[in-house]
Structure 1
Amino acid sequence: MSERDRTVAITGANGYVGSILRAAFTASGYRVITLQRSAPAGAASGYVPYSLQDGPAASLPDDVAAVIHCAYDLRARDAAEIERINLGGTEKLIRAVGDVPIVFISSMSAYSGTQQIYGRTKLACEDLVAAHGGTSLRLGLVHGSGDGGMIGALRKVAALPVVPMLRPDSYQYAVDAEDVANCVLSTVEQPPPHHVLGVAAPRRVPFSEIIHTLRASATSTPLRPIPLSSALLYRAFRTAEAAGLRIGFRADSLLGLMHPAPGVPHVDYWAEQGISLRDFAKVAAQ
């Protein structure tokens, strides 16, 4: 990649993953163009006005080597609205960027047969990106950088006086934030032969291990778990959402915890590129 090509544009650059990537690309010597609603205060990099609903309000600079699409609107609850905003927003972005390669930040919730609205929407976005010739990266549970995203929500759960525990066989695939950044940097600099890759360590991390680890990193108070029916909790969340209540954790997110992906697609590719995906147990509590 030439010096002229060391510019990337990032949608959702203020979000949990977007912030991680913005910092990583800047540290690696890239110029980062943020695609967001308003100009970032005191930013040295450029920006283009952008929203999922409207797309970019201006053309991207000619030297943009790739667009990293992190933006996703989690505020919507209705399936039709979620699809209209997020899938429609991906369509608008693809039309706007022309031939510029797209790296789509997807999720391990996106797999064939998923029941989760979030996962199904991400899958549909992956199809659009593949048709454009881009790459989708399915991130596992991202940890190791602040309290944002799903890991932030689970930290709050783990800190409760009494902690609800999902069924014993529930698990997640996890990935350290630094490893995420390395994988995305590699994808921009050397596009992989696969349209979809998983970005997560291949071990299934039991939900109980995640909660115990997060609890231990925050307090010395012993964990007081209470077994709770996932299906019952899901129905309670759905009822609350139907009544217009915002309880801080979405029913659809719980569905993703209840029904995780069966495996990490093409995970061996990263080792071939010299990138290590470290296990949750080694880094989560640091």
Structure 2
Amino acid sequence: MSSRQSVALTGASGFVGRVLVARLLASGYRVRALSRSPGRCLQHEDVTEIIGDLATPGALAELVKGSDCLIHLAAAIAGRRQRDFERVNAVGTRKLIEAMEQTHPGCRLIHISSLAARLPQISHYARSKRQAEQIVESSHLDWLILRPPAIYGPADPALAPLWRALASGWLVQTGPARARFSLLHVDDLCDAIVHLIDRPWPLRRTACLDDGHRAGYTWSELARLAGSLRGRPTRTLRLPRFALSLMATANLGISYLTGHQPLLTPGKVRELTHPDWVCGDNVALASSGWRPKRQLASALTELPGWSTRS
């Protein structure tokens, strides 16, 4: 791999993006990062900030120009209506694809989707992510779609309340007891992306990746794991679906008054209470030589709440 290879990146200032930029730099790549305003990305001599967003054609053309691979991380995860998600996840992806095909069709694309895309009917977010996949699939580019499950890590604000509660001896259960779900540490996701940049794509172009816990995790397994690490039993606080639905409906109503884009919505409740978010296997990526290294058992005490718990 030449140290002069350049990788373009959307979503560089987010939770995953910041870790990925550091991984790319450590691997010798130069980074071209799309940024809505100056200074949002990691400041480094090998990072070039391109000011704009997915609705800025000139910035997208500049982002793609001279890049060997583009990693599309940017996504809308909060919104009231379908169009709130589509504007970024679908329309933004289409504009990015158009810029790549017009400016640099030889640039490879790694599109980071979501496991939710396999159930587009479950929420506005899931539908928009599936729409984005279909746009990528219909392009003339050399592409790879990755569908990660829930991604976690020390700097992730979304799951921090769950880890803090676990560290205090409480499991806040938002799904049914029978639910199973896959997880993926942010380090493994970023290592997989960097690993795949200049290697032949897997035979299956849409691939799921998880932490290797093949059958996924259960809520009771999380409780046992936390109890084992704390040396005391973990108590479970079960939030029934009707309570989550009431909270989501109220949150949605308040969002119309405040103007903010809500995270907890009826669609998100359907995602949280779905019983099967298991990735399956990593056969498609295993053929490339990538293997996950971090499982929750070894990573849990690095997460928010554990280092400061009494």
Which of 183, 193, 208 does residue 198 from structure 1 map onto?
Answer: 208
1:122 is matched with 129
After TM superposition, the structure 1 = structure 2 runs for residues 159-174 of structure 1, keeping only pairs within 5 Å, are: 163-165=171-173, 166-174=175-183
Q: CA deviation at 1:258?
A: 1.5
2:90 is matched with 87
1-structure distance, mates of 2:176, 2:149: 20
Does the CA-based 8 Å contact 1:69-1:104 persist in structure 2?
yes
2:39 is matched with 40
Does the CA-based 8 Å contact 1:116-1:255 persist in structure 2?
yes
More displaced stretch, 109-118 vs 252-261: 252-261
Deviation per residue, 1:70-95 (Å, 9 max, x gap): 11123422122211232111111111
Deviation per residue, 1:9-58 (Å, 9 max, x gap): 11010111111211111111100111111233743211111213335525
Identity across the alignment (%)? 23
2:149 is matched with 140
After TM superposition, the structure 1 = structure 2 runs for residues 1-286 of structure 1, keeping only pairs within 5 Å, are: 1-4=1-4, 6-40=5-39, 42-44=43-45, 45-55=47-57, 57=59, 59-60=62-63, 62-98=65-101, 99=105, 100-112=107-119, 114-132=121-139, 133=141, 134-143=143-152, 145-148=153-156, 150-156=158-164, 158=166, 163-165=171-173, 166-190=175-199, 191-200=201-210, 201=212, 202-210=214-222, 213=225, 223-244=234-255, 250-251=264-265, 252-259=267-274, 261=276, 263-264=278-279, 267-278=282-293, 280-286=295-301
Helix, strand or coil: the match of 2:196? helix
State the superposition RMSD in angstroms: 3.0
Q: 1:178 to 1:21 in 2, by over 3 A?
A: same
More displaced stretch, 47-56 vs 184-193: 47-56
Q: CA deviation at 1:241?
A: 1.6
Letter in structure 1 aligned against 2:264: R
Does the CA-based 8 Å contact 2:118-2:130 persist in structure 1?
yes
1-structure distance, mates of 2:132, 2:274: 20
Q: CA deviation at 1:213?
A: 4.7
Q: CA deviation at 1:189?
A: 1.2
2-structure distance, mates of 1:159, 1:55: 46
Q: 1:105 to 1:270 in 2, by over 3 A?
A: same
TM value normalised by structure 1:
0.84
Aligned pairs, number: 283
2-structure distance, mates of 1:215, 1:255: 28
Unaligned runs of 5+ in 2: 302-310
More displaced stretch, 130-139 vs 113-122: 113-122
Does the CA-based 8 Å contact 1:164-1:227 persist in structure 2?
yes
2-structure distance, mates of 1:52, 1:216: 45
2:307 is matched with none
Q: 1:61 to 1:226 in 2, by over 3 A?
A: closer
Does the CA-based 8 Å contact 1:56-1:93 persist in structure 2?
no
2-structure distance, mates of 1:129, 1:247: 26
Q: CA deviation at 1:175?
A: 1.4
Q: CA deviation at 1:103?
A: 1.0
Does the CA-based 8 Å contact 1:197-1:266 persist in structure 2?
no
Helix, strand or coil: the match of 1:123? helix
Helix, strand or coil: the match of 2:13? coil
2:304 is matched with none
Unaligned runs of 5+ in 1: none
